[in-house]
Structure 1
Amino acid sequence: MRLRFRHIRDHLSHHGFARERLEQDRREQTLVAEIRALLPGKLGAHCLDLRIADGRLTLFLDSTAWLTRARFLAGEILTSLKSYHVDAVGFQVRLPERESPRRDVASRRAQLSETATRHLLEAADHQRDPCLSEALRRLARHGPRATPEGLD
């Protein structure tokens, strides 16, 4: 027996609520593309997302610099979007999503200097609590590759 694989969208399109959500999502994506194309200058490239609710358009921009520029262009934006029944426009900054969370974890790791490693080992030597002493030694092992014995 041969299995026939179909995209999940094909399966969901047979169910009422899921079909409605897929159609609504498709309409929203089309609307976003149309409005981005109507935005003045290079503003469309810096518009990460937008929402229209009750005649108010909210643009989500990728930096405060573009938010400031968009505020100056608010009148022009409203004029170009009259056919979409937009009465007001607002702006918010939304930082772009990062591509790789693994790189973020690596970049957040604290880099210990030789001096910090030396201080940690020295503090571990002077602790009465053996658990705290061992924890400080484990932390010192994340320092430079020099052996703890060599850092006297």
Structure 2
Amino acid sequence: MRRGFRHIRDHLNHHGLARVRLEQDRHEPTLVAEIRALLPGRLGAHCLDLRLADGRLTLFLDSTAWLMRARFLAGEILASLKSYHVEAVGFQIRLPEHESSGRAAVSRRVRLSETAARHLLEAAEHQRDPRLSEALRRLARHGARTTPEGRTD
């Protein structure tokens, strides 16, 4: 007689380490939300993710400015998370998903305004150093381009 199919989760629940990891994964979203709510000030809004393992909490923040602020608040963070048995706290930078995609960064090309380009060309004309003058002209070429219809692209 053939047994029916069982979900892989049922098989993994019989394995000790896998069962523990599955249990952690079930509780992780709740834990992340609870810890974010306990972070001081607006730090929770800039915390993209966190990991809690062996009494060490690692916060993944969206910028170096918030990382520096979090370092100054490390004592306060540890005090507010005593009930979670956090003994140490660490910080890392992680860029938000939408900003880290290479394709999006390539497609955005920053251009200077026409006014900025004119100022750069004017500054290039008044330079004694020919290399600096040429560098300013090259930079001015990144200015907004005017189409024949009079629109800037």
| TM, length-normalised to structure 1 | 0.56
1:52 positional shift: 1.1
Q: Aligned partners of 2:11 and 2:67: how far apart in 1?
A: 39
- On the 8 A contact 1:13/1:22 being kept in 2, the answer is no
Q: Which runs of 5+ in 1 are unaligned?
A: 1-10, 109-152
Structure 2 residue runs without a partner (length 5+) = 1-5, 110-153
Matched with 1:91 is 91
Aligned residue in 2 for 1:80: 80
Question: Distance in 1 between the 2:10 and 2:56 partners?
Answer: 32
Residue 91 (structure 1) shift:
0.6
Aligned AA for 2:107?
Answer: A
Q: 1:102 offset after TM fit, Å?
A: 4.9
Q: Using the alignment, how far apart are the partners of 1:35 and 1:15 within structure 2? A: 30
Match of 1:65 in 2: 65
| Residues 67-96 of structure 1: per-residue CA shift (max 9 Å, x gap) | 000011101000000000001111111111
Distance 1:41 1:12, change over 3 A: farther
For 1:29, give the aligned amino acid. P
Give runs of ≥4 in structure 1 deviating > 6 Å.
none
Shift, 1:17, TM fit? 2.5
Q: Pairwise mapping of residues 99-118 of structure 1 onto structure 2 (< 5 A)?
A: 102-107=103-108
What does residue 136 of structure 2 align with?
none
- For the aligned residue pairs, the C-alpha RMSD in angstroms reads 3.2
> Quick one: percent identity of the two aligned structures?
76
Q: Deviations over 1:99-133 (max 9, x none)?
A: 6765334237xxxxxxxxxxxxxxxxxxxxxxxxx
